[in-house]
């Protein structure tokens, strides 16, 4: 299934289900990218990200990127592109007082290109509910622009909430006095986190993660724990277990196959860790769904 919906205010939603596709380098408005099964890889400058169904990708206005799908199973992508005016108006309406909005009702200044931290965020909670509803409406109904814009307005509300949890609060966890140092460290830790999420099923080590973030191993270990409350290795294990839960719920792979897919060395260590973290075995977890 494929659709593109362009609204009168230039917001745009597109979706496509493909096994193999390459989208050459291009520039877009601020966009939110999701994938509903399989994965899509993105090249943003020198960064290579793999997007899975439990994450969404936020790309800033003006960023140049390409993407690729190469899969045995059909991969369903959905992309939402926000017009600069819509984004700017949303931001003002949530950050200005009523008086300021009345004094200056029309404001054409765009949000700067690097305003948001361009990275992978968890795709769950309200963000997922709203995008799933929007997707369902666009696939099954013919919603008018007002309703689609209402969904998009709430996508931005949800995105700001996720941004606050994932960026602002994590930045506050860092024990540096200098604000610009905090910002720079968090940017580099984000690269480390992206690297773990994108390569969770490979045999990666601390040196690889540190190199991806342009940090020394010791600096990475100290700051990663401060920001995210767990070591890079613990974070990697969490990503692998979360992916296994997704596969247990949404696929028919055997547990041995899942162990291989998520990069564990043997089923027994996977089952032991899964049970320790979820108080239930993978087999019983699957039966509950």
Partner 1 sequence: MLNPNQNNRDQPKLTDRKPITIRMSYIPDLAGKISDAINFILMSLNFQLEQKMNFDKMVFLEPMTLQDSNGKIITLIIKEIENDPEIQHIIVHTDDCLRDYHKYLIAGIEFVNRPEYTAAGLQVDFLGHNDRYTLLEERTYTESL
Answer for which of 19, 26, 95, 133 binds partner 1 (CB under 8 A) is: 133
Would you say 75 or 134 has its CB closer to partner 1? 134
Per CB under 8 A, which of residues 180..239 are in contact with partner 1? none
- The answer to the question of residue 110 lying near partner 1 (CB under 8 A) is no
- Determine the interface stretch with partner 1 among 19-27, 42-50, 151-159, 178-186 (rule: CB under 8 A): 151-159
Q: What angle do CA 114, 174, 116 make, to 5 degrees?
A: 15
- The answer to the question of residue 132 lying near partner 1 (CB under 8 A) is yes
Q: How far is the CB of 13 from partner 1 (least distance, A)?
A: 15
- The answer to the question of residue 284 lying near partner 1 (CB under 8 A) is no
Answer for which of 1, 106, 146, 276 binds partner 1 (CB under 8 A) is: 146
- The answer to the question of residue 129 lying near partner 1 (CB under 8 A) is yes
Per CB under 8 A, which of residues 232..261 are in contact with partner 1? 242, 245-246
Would you say 36 or 253 has its CB closer to partner 1? 36
CA 25, CA 149: separation in Å to the nearest integer? 28
- The answer to the question of residue 95 lying near partner 1 (CB under 8 A) is no
- Determine the interface stretch with partner 1 among 69-77, 131-139, 174-182, 202-210 (rule: CB under 8 A): 131-139
Q: What is the 3-state secondary structure (H, E, C) of the chain?
A: CEEEEECCCCCEEEEEEEEEEEEEEEECCEEEEEECCCCEEEEECCEEEEECCCEEEEECCCCEEEEEEEEEEEEEEEEEEECHHHHHHHHHHHHCCHHHHHHCCCCCCCCCCCCCCCCEEECCHHHHHHHHHHHHHHHHCCCCHHHHHHHHHHHHHHHHHHHHHHHHHHHHHCCCCCHHHHHHHHHHHHHHHHHHHHCCCCCCCHHHHHHHCCCCHHHHHHHHHHHHCCCHHHHHHHHHHHHHHHHHHHCCCCHHHHHHHCCCCCHHHHHHHHHHHHCCCHHHHHHCC
Q: Which two tokens stand for residue 26?
A: 């291009």
- Determine the interface stretch with partner 1 among 18-26, 146-154, 206-214, 269-277 (rule: CB under 8 A): 146-154
- The answer to the question of residue 280 lying near partner 1 (CB under 8 A) is no
Q: How far is the CB of 151 from partner 1 (least distance, A)?
A: 6
- The answer to the question of residue 277 lying near partner 1 (CB under 8 A) is no
Spell out, one character per residue from 30 to 69, where the chain touches partner 1: x when CB under 8 A holds, - when not. Answer: ------------------------x---------------
Closest listed residue to residue 120, CA positions, set 16, 198, 13, 15: 198
- The answer to the question of residue 139 lying near partner 1 (CB under 8 A) is no
Pairing status of strand 12-27 against strand 47-51: unpaired
Would you say 61 or 76 has its CB closer to partner 1? 76
Chain positions contacting partner 1, by CB under 8 A: 54, 124-126, 128-130, 132-133, 136-137, 143, 146-147, 150-151, 154, 157, 242, 245-246
């Amino acid at each position: 299934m494929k659709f593109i919906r362009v609204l009168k205010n230039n917001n745009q939603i597109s979706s496509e289900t493909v096994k193999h596709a390459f989208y050459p380098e291009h520039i877009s408005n601020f966009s939110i990218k999701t994938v509903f099964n399989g994965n899509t890889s993105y090249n943003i400058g020198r960064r290579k990200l793999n997007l899975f169904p439990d994450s969404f990708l936020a790309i800033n206005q003006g960023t140049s990127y390409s993407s690729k799908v190469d899969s045995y199973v059909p991969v369903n992508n959905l992309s939402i592109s926000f017009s600069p005016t819509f984004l700017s108006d949303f931001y003002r309406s949530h950050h200005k007082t009523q008086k300021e909005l009345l004094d200056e009702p029309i404001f054409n200044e765009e949000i700067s290109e690097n305003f948001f931290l361009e990275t992978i965020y968890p795709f769950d909670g309200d963000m997922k509910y709203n995008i799933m509803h929007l997707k369902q409406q666009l696939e099954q109904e013919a919603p008018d622009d007002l309703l689609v814009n209402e969904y998009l307005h709430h996508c931005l509300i949800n995105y700001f909430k996720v941004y606050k949890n994932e960026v602002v609060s994590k930045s506050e966890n860092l024990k540096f006095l200098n604000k610009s140092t905090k910002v720079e460290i968090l940017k580099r830790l984000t690269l480390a986190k992206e690297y773990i999420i994108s390569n969770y099923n490979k045999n990666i080590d601390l040196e690889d993660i540190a190199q991806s973030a342009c940090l020394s191993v010791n600096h990475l270990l100290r700051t990663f724990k401060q920001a995210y409350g767990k070591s890079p290795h613990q974070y990697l294990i969490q990503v692998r277990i979360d992916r296994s839960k997704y596969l247990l719920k949404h696929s028919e792979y055997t547990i041995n196959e899942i162990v291989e897919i998520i990069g564990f060395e043997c089923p027994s260590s996977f089952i032991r860790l899964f049970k320790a973290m979820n108080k239930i075995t993978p087999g019983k977890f699957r039966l509950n769904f």
